Structure formats: structure tokens, C-alpha cells
């Protein structure tokens, strides 16, 4: 039987200990790695807000409301109350001489249009060219009511995700896509008061498949 010399035992011991020492050093190095989180700036919809107070208005609710414009639809919604001129151009800092009649700006929680972010299909919309002063606003009446599939209203601060123009909240208008067919809606309103005029509103939706895509035409009259 061959005897192991002290030198042989020392070499054998170093070979056994070295892998464990290397593994321990590697583990220590991995623990020093710092975790980095990146928040994207292109958020496609307010549905990503999770448990935040999200109000959704469906196409069926829009039709049953009898509203003829975004202004008529949202003016009585609780989340957009709380300030005079919630949907008026005066709230945006404009005057009757600088802003044409018919424009409207949404103001969530009465904090002003410049603090309410307007999205269409999750994307930002250019501010109205008639915005006056430092108050920019999106003319919500420029969005055809007949084109809307649903409206998502996030009535809480979302500036951490969307920026400073979402301090009051976000309104996301989701438009109809891949629509095929034709639809005509007509509404009529009148008052018993002799000083009031009758009001007639009509909206048309036409959609068809075209060249492998889809063509949709909307009109509000």
C-alpha cells in the first residue's frame, strides 16, 4: 500500500477547497449587482394603471346618453366637475375673440385643461391652435362622437407616468377599428319655451374592407 506524503495531502486538499472558494467569491460578486428598473414613456392606455379609479364609458352608453358631442357626454360626469367652466374655452385662458365657438376643453377635478391629459388610442393629441396664453388644451369636440368605441377616464394624478400635464388625470378616447357596415343615428330635441330653438343632431359611420386594410368614415352633423 502506497503512503501519502504530507506534500501530496496538501496538494489534494487545495484542489478540493479551490472550487468552493471560487464559487463563494462568485456568489459574493453576484450579490453586489444593483437592480435597475426602467419606466417607459410610451404608455398605450390608461388600463395599465391597475387599481386606480378608472371610469369606462362604452359605445352603448354613449348611444343611450343622447349626447351630440363630447361636451354633452362628459359635462355631467362626476369626475369632471369641481370648477367653473370645466368644459369652456375660458378655462383654457382663451377669450371669445381668440377661440371659435364650438371648441371645448376637458378639466378633470377642476384643475384645468392643461393638467388633464387627452389621449386618442393611447397616444397624445396636439393642442388646439387657438389655445391662448400658457394654458394649452385639446379641443375634445374635434373627436367625432360616432367614432368612439369607449372612453376611459382616470380621475387621479398620473404625472409619474405621463408627465406634468396629467396631474389631474387622463382621458383616453378609444376609436372604432375594423368596422364594417353603415350606421346612422339622428336625435331631435325641443323645448316648450318659445325662446328656445329645436336641436337636431345626426352622426354617420361607414366602414368597409379596402386593399387588405379597413376604411372607416365618421361624420357628425
53/154 Cα distance (integer angstroms):
6
pLDDT of 84 reads 33
pLDDT of 52 reads 58
- Tell whether 205 and 142 lie within a shared domain: no
- Tell whether 186 and 123 lie within a shared domain: no
Q: What is the pLDDT averaged over residues 174-192?
A: 78
Quick: pLDDT tens for 201-212.
777 778 888 877
- Tell whether 138 and 52 lie within a shared domain: yes
Q: Which residues of 133-170 are buried (b: 16+ CB within 10 A; e: fewer)?
A: eebbbbbbbebbbbbbebbbbbbbbbeebbeebbbbbb
> Which conformational region is residue 110 in: left (phi greater than 0), alpha (psi within -120 to 50 degrees), or beta?
left
- DSSP strands (E only) in 74-115: none
Asked whether 108 and 116 are in contact (CB, 8 A), the reply is yes
Q: What is the pLDDT averaged over residues 77-86?
A: 48
pLDDT of 133 reads 53
pTM over 0.75: no
- Tell whether 97 and 65 lie within a shared domain: yes
The more confidently predicted of residues 33 and 91 is: 33
Q: Please report whether residue 94 resides in a domain.
A: yes
- Tell whether 87 and 164 lie within a shared domain: yes
pLDDT of 10 reads 60
- Tell whether 57 and 96 lie within a shared domain: yes
Least confident of 87-96, 106-115, 204-213: 87-96
pLDDT of 194 above 80: no
Take residue 171 and report the three cell numbers written for it.
382621458
Domain hosting residue 209, numbered range: 181-220
- Tell whether 64 and 168 lie within a shared domain: yes
Q: 3-state DSSP call for residue 90? A: helix
Amino acid at each position: 500500500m502506497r503512503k501519502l506524503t504530507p506534500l501530496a495531502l496538501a496538494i489534494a486538499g487545495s484542489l478540493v477547497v479551490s472550487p468552493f472558494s471560487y464559487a463563494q467569491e462568485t456568489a459574493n460578486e453576484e450579490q453586489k449587482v444593483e437592480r435597475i428598473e426602467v419606466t417607459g414613456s410610451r404608455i398605450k392606455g390608461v388600463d395599465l394603471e391597475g387599481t386606480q379609479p378608472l371610469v369606462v364609458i362604452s359605445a352603448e352608453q354613449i348611444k343611450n346618453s343622447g349626447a351630440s358631442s363630447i361636451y354633452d357626454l362628459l359635462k355631467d360626469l362626476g369626475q369632471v366637475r369641481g370648477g367653473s367652466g370645466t368644459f369652456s374655452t375660458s378655462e383654457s385662458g382663451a377669450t371669445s375673440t381668440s377661440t371659435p365657438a364650438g371648441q371645448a376643453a376637458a378639466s378633470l377635478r377642476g384643475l384645468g385643461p392643461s393638467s388633464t391629459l387627452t389621449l386618442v388610442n393611447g397616444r397624445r393629441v396636439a393642442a388646439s391652435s387657438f389655445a391662448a396664453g400658457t394654458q394649452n388644451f385639446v379641443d375634445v369636440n374635434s373627436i367625432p362622437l360616432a367614432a368612439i368605441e369607449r372612453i376611459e377616464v382616470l380621475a387621479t394624478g398620473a404625472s409619474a407616468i405621463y408627465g406634468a400635464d396629467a396631474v389631474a388625470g387622463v382621458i383616453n378616447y378609444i376609436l372604432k377599428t375594423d368596422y364594417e357596415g353603415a350606421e346612422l343615428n339622428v336625435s331631435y330635441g325641443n323645448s316648450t319655451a318659445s325662446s328656445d330653438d329645436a336641436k337636431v343632431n345626426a352622426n354617420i359611420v361607414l366602414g368597409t374592407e379596402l386593399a387588405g386594410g379597413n376604411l372607416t368614415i365618421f361624420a357628425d352633423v
